[in-house]
Structure 1
Amino acid sequence: MDNESFSEVEAEEPVRAEVDSFPSKPDTRQPRPWLIPLFAGTGLGIAIALGSMGILSYLPARQQTAVANKAAPKVNPAMTVTIASVEKTRVTRTLNTTGTVAARDLIPVLPQANGLQIKIIPEDIKEGTFVKKGQVLAILDDSILQAQISQAKADVESKQADVASKLAEQASKLATTVSNQAIVQQKKADLAQSQARLEEAQKNFQRYQKLARAGAISQQELDTRSYTVKTAIEAVRLAEENVRGAKANVGSAQANITSAEANVNKAKADVRSSVAKVQQLQAQLGQTVVRAPVSGIVAEKLARVGDVTGVPPQTQVGTIIGGTQKLFSIIRDERLELQAKISEIQLPQVEVGASVQITSDLDNRIQLQGRVKDIQPLVNDKRREATIKIDLPPTDLLKPGMFARAAITTNTTIGMTVPQKAVQPQPDGSAILFTLSDKDIVHTQTVEVGEPIDDQRVEIKSGLQLSDALGQDVSRLRVVVDGAGYLKDGDKVRVVTQ
């Protein structure tokens, strides 16, 4: 109990003593018995008043004022409340929007060989399954390729046999050429021999002409020598003809060799073509195993056992890429992004690299921290909106096509915060606080609520005294927390410590 309470009790004690000092009278039936205590009380009151005036005349002015204040009626507290100080803190301004979750890098898986039937798809290959680079996604039927490879190998063997035949023919032509060249040499030798005989016959004829002129021999003998010369001349002519014929045979044989070489080269080319076809078919045989080109999550599984690659079902007409049917699509490294829409008016507030808080109305577990990766350069000319792409961290809670909310950080400033429980929403959509004065009297203050800081505190954008709240002594501004919902402006409260 404070000093004022002790003074008040001491002032009341003499009054109670005097009242108690009156002797009680027996209850006798006298006329108007109520007048006796009335007169007694009136006299007692006059005495007390005169005594008090006398005492006050001797008190200093300060004590007289204190006595006068004690005589005023006291206001009882309306209720007990707890309070909190307004604090200054760093407040993050955000821009709220919504968007659709999409794959950041969607990789299509295409068959490398068309016209083949899908034979096997492993049971663990499903949409949402994580696959590693090189993992088998599907196996195609290779029976047709196996038959084509066998046929190509047989063709190679046939072409190789043809090459051997052409080489043998070429060797025969070469031998004929060599033989013809030998014949040419023989014919040349025969020609030389005939020319020697002709020369001898001509010399003999000249000698016999001299003898015939001298009359040493007869004319018949001279005619015989003349015939021998003519015979020798004919033999030379025939030998020359044989030489020319032999040379012609050699030229023909050489032409046959050239033709044989061309046939050999063509046969060898056919062999190389057949071998290349075998290698191509063997490469296609390796392509009958469809493998994951990258590691990631299977986003789409379009292939079914029995489908023919390159001939999509009617329901998959839209899955053709570059003339080839898409079998699967994979989200590379499980990376997702949120594609959100921002109006052109808000677009200047967003910067690449800004932090983004991702949440969902359907799953309160989704509390992710993303970052603005890209702002698309084109603005939709009808809705006046631009698309921003927000990188998302790896998570199992989000899937492509899901809806999510994004709070994009635009800037950071210093502001005032109070406990959320201190803010009292009003029916008209406004909000109020109850501030506490030094005399424990509360006053209503209409405020504008800003961003929530955490689960406990909220920003007050306007309505409080900024100079007090942001000054050196922040605790000067106090607000009611517990019990604020039951107060009205001007109530006196009892403050307790939390």
Structure 2
Amino acid sequence: MKTTNDKLNDKLKGKLKDKLKDQLKTKPLALALLAAMIVGSGGVMLYSPSSSAADEKKPAATPALTVSTTRPESATLPLRLTANGNVAAWQEASLGSESNGLRLTEVRVNVGDVVKKGQVLAVFSADTVNADVAQAKAALAEARANAAEAQANAKRARAVQASGALSEQQVSQYLTAEQTANARIESARATLAAQQLRLKYTQVVAPDSGVISARTATVGSVVGTGTELFRMIRQGRLEWRAEVTAAELKNIRVGSTATVKAANGSELQGKVRMIAPTIDPQTRSALVYVDLPPDTRSNAPFKAGMFASGHFDLGTSAALTLPQPAVVVRDGFPYVFRLNADSRVSQLKVQTGRRVGERIEILSGVKADMPVVLSGAGFLNDGDLVRVANAGQATAAAAAQRAAK
């Protein structure tokens, strides 16, 4: 048997059902819209952006740079050995005084003057020497007079020697006096020659042609024998004394051509005159003497004592070269960028050698048929995608690379 509460609950449930039926009858359009929204929402969830991107293709990568390419070329390059050294005089002459205690009265040359062989450079006072020469001449005349008397006495002694008018002792004395007089003549002649030589030495003359490099002569000074008055570069000839290591010395021959460059940029061509027979034990290098063309001008670009660099020409040899822009230096090492068949580049480490003009010798790291980036190499990294300006050449290079593979 139902209670009062149960009856009330049944009554309320009936009223709610009736009300819900009324609402469903009056609002069918709202329910339809609600159903459409639910279906649309599910469709959006099913057609998400991620699933759409998976079905579509990814866009193509963008090239990093537009470049041009080149290939290594074979060339004949000169073989050169670079060296450094000092410029020095070929030979220096020290000109000094040969007269003792004479006063210097005249100096006719100065530093930098070009002189000829036999030219008078300085003059000493000759008054004292002239007096000594006159005295020597008088002594010679006296000796000759005494000799004439001795010769006459000896002649008479020989004439009467057989008759016995003179004793053997007297005859011997006359003959000895004759010989002594002749010896005194020779002595007087020697003394006169010595004084005349002193007179000659009152003039300092150049023993050879050349350029005066130093002067210590001062007018009015009294100098002793052997005192240096001038220093001269003989014939104005200079030489380059290049320092070459022992390992490189075997490549140089006497007569080889060398180009010497001064600090002011001037260049001269010379020839190897001599190679030093010994090697410095401290530096392990030897000197190579290169004769330079004589230049006696006061403004000559090469001066004795200056430092100069240069190179020896040792012939030519074949080499594989690239233009200088194609070689990139990074972290102290040279690199090039090879163009691959997929238009990407590969960074390759190379070894460089000689440089002639705008081309660099490549010793290792590349091959003759390898396409290499020329312009724009400094802005690339390993694996970058590039666009090639010279596309025809790049296509041919890619085909050659695929054929090689």
- 1:430 is displaced (CA, Å) by 0.9
Does the residue aligned with 1:377 lie in a helix, a strand or coil? coil
Q: Deviation per CA, 1:123-176, whole angstroms, max 9, x where unpaired?
A: 4x31x433222222222322221110011122233334444555677799899x
Mapped partners of 2:145, 2:272: distance in 1: 69
- 2:281 maps to which residue? 381
Q: 1:336 to 1:439 in 2, by over 3 A?
A: farther
- 2:125 maps to which residue? 141
Matched, 1:251 2:166: yes
Counterpart amino acid of 1:282?
Q
Q: 1:111 to 1:82 in 2, by over 3 A?
A: farther
- 1:122 maps to which residue? 108
Mapped partners of 1:131, 1:84: distance in 2: 60
- 1:258 is displaced (CA, Å) by 5.0
- 2:85 maps to which residue? 99
- 1:197 maps to which residue? none
- 1:332 maps to which residue? 234
Does the residue aligned with 2:138 lie in a helix, a strand or coil? helix
Q: 1:358 to 1:174 in 2, by over 3 A?
A: closer
- 2:243 maps to which residue? 341
- 1:389 is displaced (CA, Å) by 2.3
Q: 1:251 to 1:348 in 2, by over 3 A?
A: closer
Please say if residues 107 and 123 of structure 2, whose CA atoms lie closer than 8 Å, have aligned partners that are also in contact. yes
- 1:429 is displaced (CA, Å) by 0.1
Q: 1:280 to 1:457 in 2, by over 3 A?
A: same
Matched, 1:372 2:272: yes
Q: Deviation per CA, 1:355-388, whole angstroms, max 9, x where unpaired?
A: 434334x32x133334433332223334433333
Please say if residues 91 and 453 of structure 1, whose CA atoms lie closer than 8 Å, have aligned partners that are also in contact. yes
Q: 1:464 to 1:147 in 2, by over 3 A?
A: same
- Where in structure 1 are there 5+ consecutive unaligned residues? 1-70, 182-246, 312-323, 470-475
Please point out which of 431, 436, 440 is paired with 2:334. Answer: 431
- 1:453 is displaced (CA, Å) by 1.4
1:89-488 to 2 correspondences below 5 Å? 89-123=75-109, 125-126=110-111, 128-163=112-147, 166=150, 250-252=165-167, 256=170, 259-311=173-225, 324-360=226-262, 362-363=263-264, 365-394=265-294, 396-409=300-313, 412-426=316-330, 428-436=331-339, 442-454=345-357, 456-465=358-367, 469=368, 476-488=369-381
Matched, 1:86 2:1: no
Please say if residues 440 and 495 of structure 1, whose CA atoms lie closer than 8 Å, have aligned partners that are also in contact. no
Q: 1:452 to 1:151 in 2, by over 3 A?
A: same
Mapped partners of 1:81, 1:122: distance in 2: 72
Matched, 1:493 2:387: yes
Please say if residues 121 and 204 of structure 2, whose CA atoms lie closer than 8 Å, have aligned partners that are also in contact. yes
- 1:399 is displaced (CA, Å) by 2.0
Mapped partners of 1:367, 1:416: distance in 2: 29
Please say if residues 80 and 496 of structure 1, whose CA atoms lie closer than 8 Å, have aligned partners that are also in contact. no
Q: 1:356 to 1:268 in 2, by over 3 A?
A: closer
Mapped partners of 2:287, 2:138: distance in 1: 60
Q: 1:74 to 1:462 in 2, by over 3 A?
A: same
Does the residue aligned with 1:460 lie in a helix, a strand or coil? strand
Q: Deviation per CA, 1:244-270, whole angstroms, max 9, x where unpaired?
A: xxx7xx235x75465345434433432
Please say if residues 442 and 493 of structure 1, whose CA atoms lie closer than 8 Å, have aligned partners that are also in contact. no
If the length of structure 2 is used for normalisation, what is the TM-score?
0.67
Sequence identity percentage: 32
- Where in structure 2 are there 5+ consecutive unaligned residues? 1-56, 392-405
Q: 1:381 to 1:82 in 2, by over 3 A?
A: same
Return the index of the structure with the highest Cα Rg.
1
Question: Higher strand proportion, which one?
Answer: 2
Mapped partners of 2:246, 2:133: distance in 1: 62
If the length of structure 1 is used for normalisation, what is the TM-score?
0.56
Q: 1:131 to 1:284 in 2, by over 3 A?
A: same
- 1:296 is displaced (CA, Å) by 2.3
Does the residue aligned with 1:154 lie in a helix, a strand or coil? helix
Please say if residues 104 and 331 of structure 1, whose CA atoms lie closer than 8 Å, have aligned partners that are also in contact. yes
